[in-house]
Structure 1
Amino acid sequence: MGDGSEARAKPGRRFTFIDSMRGFAASWVAIFHINKIGGDHTRYAGNAHQSYYDFMMSGALGVTIFFVISGFAVHSSLLRTDSARDFLARRFWRIYPPYIASLAVVMAVIIVHKLLTGNNDLIGVPHNALGWIATLTLTTQPATTVAPINWVYWTLTYELAFYLWLSLALLVPRARWAVLVTPAVLALFWTSEKTFVPLFFIYQWCFFALGTALAEWDRERGWRPIGLAVLCLATMMVHRTWLETSVALLAAFLIVASTAPWGDWLNGERVLRKLGDWSYSIYLIHLPIGCWIALGAIDPWPRKLSQAGLAVHLGIDLSAFAVTVAFAWGFWRLVEKPSIARSKAVGRKPAPTPEPLAYA
């Protein structure tokens, strides 16, 4: 069987279960941070309470899910694009305007908090021009030594690096597989996350490239996508935890299932799918809104979760998350949705203007 290098990408399709996966991942990360800030990190009374807390404190694995999904979705988009400029422009409009708007939200919360309390004990802000340049250009840690102003922004730095690297596949189409495989090979020898090195993104490439392998497999069956997936798995087994590897493989399986004819039943789920529509907004603003504002409003309860019991713990988490979702919906309507529309318009040829009818 051929590798499919001459085949055209399939027309764009929307797999709604992948939106559900995004919704779950964003929710998991958000509630993880709510517990990271609000919990007292002690042993909880009762196995059910402790199990719930342990699961939510594993929510950083939601980022692993995001990277696999991103690899699949972004590479699927790339396979339908002929221009590196259009590809990068679409990614810019999809990611950057909401990022800048969320940065404004973070700064507004920090300023109001300082006016009310007289100090900023929420998070550090850049203290010089270089720090602000890195913040505004999505080149904070690990691209540079500048710490991100919002904990979650580090993943966007990786995403930016992924996009720039993938664009090489459009600039040199015959080298598409070399673009995908080279970082995957290097990742076998990339033993830890490195800061301020040109190829820092290689540390997370195994998850993103696993998604790209799935996109290539969905496009055209062949041995190359399988080989890339095996290479990614080898990297995970050598350098990542069994839990990260298991979550990445589960995400990959669910993507394959949702794209297969026998997996259509997965695409009927609605609640997480709606959260998936807002997942980027949830991801961007859950720290300032859900963790700083919502948890701050119900303090000191968060500091006593181990004494409060599972029901109160759930209530606090769901309350903070509900505030996050409500704000995220508004953020999505006002900022992200228009940005998505602008992204989709890139490269689209305007409809021809009809010639006026001639009357005798």
Structure 2
Amino acid sequence: MSTDRKSATGRSRVTRLNTLTGLRFPAAFMVFLYHAALLGFLGVPWLSNPENVLDFYRAVSHSGALGVSFFFVLSGFVLTWSARNTDTAPRFWRRRFLKIVPNYVVVWALAMVVFAAPYTDIKVGLLNLFMLQVYYPDFSVNFGVNPAGWSLAVEAVFYLSFPLLLHLAKKIPAHRINLWVAIVGLGIIATPFLSSQLVPAGTVFMDMEPETSVNQYFFSYILPLPRVLDFALGILVARSVMAGRWRNIGMVWAGALLIASYVLGYFTPYLYSSRAVCVIPAALLIAAGAIADDEGRFTLFRNKVMVWLGDISFAFYLVHFTVTEGVWKALGSKSYTAPQATALMVLFLGIAVLASWALYELIERPITQRWSNPRKKPAPVQQHRPLAAQRAGEEA
């Protein structure tokens, strides 16, 4: 698991990509908006007007999918960029375990206390606790306890496979890397089509997307194996950038393309808008942000506030749904008009950020700093013995 530390020009590469860290929070915020829109479908009638519920959902119907896909590609890119020259697979797995599992377990327990325990049976609870919920084509299992947790179960598969995937990616000749980027990108785009053609639709369809089969959505969007392609895309794009083979279009154009693809998602079937439409523009933006950082150019996402929000974004992603339900219950489980609900969302967001900060400062950062790397054993003290005694010991 080693990689070079120089850019294609021969100079040292930056090791921390602050622009990509800053981009993490907007991606998490997109997921926050989507989950807020889902509340009305999940038995939390916080918007009093049913039309407002539908309007809000339609406005952000694939924002969560964009955020998740962005994180999956970003994960592969950043891990490849920062891979250590002397790293080993066990050390890498140790760091990833300590990064995600403590926060995951704490938020799982918090969600059980705040809202999930009354309607979660032991099987669903344990499947979610041990990150096995993504292997059952059943939404009550996939999104049980903490609905945001399923993507961490997918990420766990990414982390387990990363040493092998990076090894394979490094064997690709530099002049063929972009060909493999295109092949994997086409594989991602083809996944919804293959799902719709090969996976039986069954009799269960999504409440908020009545034309979308739960079985087909599960295969295309939730099942870890097809989603490994998103992660692999990030790995390959990073290798292309590091080899100087990437055609950078810059953050402005990449951002504009991402916005355009998001709009296009409103005119495509949900199976496609949730997986295939935005993933290539997301990869372009990630690569452009990394190149801007490596070249020391200004970006809007590299300031202290955005980097701080990016640092706590993992905790935010995990805890925001639990905070949202908890605050709504604490306020009396009422319904609100659209202006009131807008103010309530600001409250949700503010408390979720504070809770994320607490998780980051009290759990995530201390644990990763303390135990991410094995402690070195102190060198044995050399004692000077008489030469005759040394020789006797050697002969014995």
Query: What TM-score, normalized to structure 2?
Result: 0.65
Residue 240 of structure 2 aligns with an amino acid whose one-letter code is W
SS at match of 2:286: helix
Structure 1 pair 319–194 and aligned structure 2 pair: CA distance change class (3 A): closer
The alpha carbon displacement at 1:339 in A equals 2.8
1:47-196 equivalences in 2 (<5 Å): 54-60=58-64, 61-78=66-83, 80=85, 82-110=87-115, 120=118, 124-128=119-123, 131=124, 133-142=126-135, 146-147=141-142, 148-169=144-165, 188=190, 191-192=194-195
Partner of 2:207: none
1:208 lines up with 2:231 in the alignment: yes
Structure 1 residues 64 and 333: CA distance shift in structure 2, 3 A: same
Q: Distance in 1 between matches of 2:219 and 2:70?
A: 25
Gaps of 5+ in 1: 115-119, 224-232
In 2: Cα distance, 1:15 partner to 1:170 partner? 19
Q: State the SS of the aligned residue for 1:345.
A: coil
Give the 5 Å matches for 1:1-360.
8-10=4-6, 13-37=15-39, 38-39=46-47, 42-44=50-52, 54-60=58-64, 61-78=66-83, 80=85, 82-110=87-115, 120=118, 124-128=119-123, 131=124, 133-142=126-135, 146-147=141-142, 148-169=144-165, 188=190, 191-192=194-195, 200-222=223-245, 241=272, 244-260=275-291, 261=295, 263-289=297-323, 291-299=324-332, 303-304=335-336, 308-310=337-339, 312-342=340-370, 344-346=372-374
* CA spacing shift, 1:245–1:351, aligned 2, 3 Å: farther
Letter in 1 for 2:330: A
**Separation (CA, whole Å) in 2 of partners of 1:173 and 1:248:** 19
RMSD: 4.3
Cα deviation digits, residues 68-122 of structure 1 (max 9, x gap): 21121123244645411112111111111111111121122248xx7xxxxx3xx
Partners of 1:262 and 1:247 in 2: CA distance: 27
1:140-190 per-position Cα deviation (integer Å, ceiling 9, x unaligned): 12368644321111101110111122232467787679xx88987865467
Q: 1:176 to 1:83 in 2, by over 3 A?
A: farther
The higher-RCO structure (CA 8 Å, 6+ apart) is 1
Aligned partner of 2:278: which letter? V
In the other structure, the counterpart of 2:209 is none
Gaps in structure 2 of 5+ consecutive residues: 7-12, 40-45, 174-179, 196-215, 247-260, 384-396
Q: In the alignment, which residue of structure 1 is the partner of 2:200?
A: none
Deviation at residue 319 of structure 1 after TM alignment? 0.7
Note the alpha carbon deviations across 1:251-304, whole angstroms, 9 max, x for none.
323222222227433453343332211111111111222x21112233555x33
Residue 318 of structure 1: CA displacement? 0.3
**What residue number does 2:205 align with?**
none
> Structure 2: how far apart are the matches of 1:95 and 1:172?
25
- Cα gap change, 1:57/1:263 in structure 2, threshold over 3 Å: closer, same or farther? farther
Where 2:51 maps in the other structure, the secondary structure is coil
Contact in 2 for aligned 1:135/1:149 (Cα 8 Å): yes
2:169 and 2:239 in contact (8 A); partners too: no
SS of alignment partner, residue 233 of structure 2: helix
Distance 2:361 2:129 in 1: 23
Q: Structure 1 163/175 Cα, relative in aligned 2: closer, same or farther at 3 Å? A: farther
Structure-1 separation of matches of 2:102 and 2:148? 16
Give the aligned length: 318
What is the rounded CA distance, in whole Å, between the counterparts of 2:352 and 2:22 in structure 1? Answer: 18
* 3-state SS of 1:149 partner: coil
- Partners of 1:196 and 1:255 lie apart in 2 by 26
Identity of matched residues, %: 23
Q: What TM-score does the superposition give when structure 1 sets the normalisation length?
A: 0.71
Match of 2:177 in 1: none
Call closer, same or farther: CA 1:266–1:141 in 2, change over 3 Å: same
User: Aligned pair in 2 of structure 1 residues 201, 317: CA closer, same or farther (>3 Å)?
Assistant: same
Contact 2:3–2:83 under 8 Å retained in 1: no
Cα deviation for residue 352 of structure 1 reads 6.6
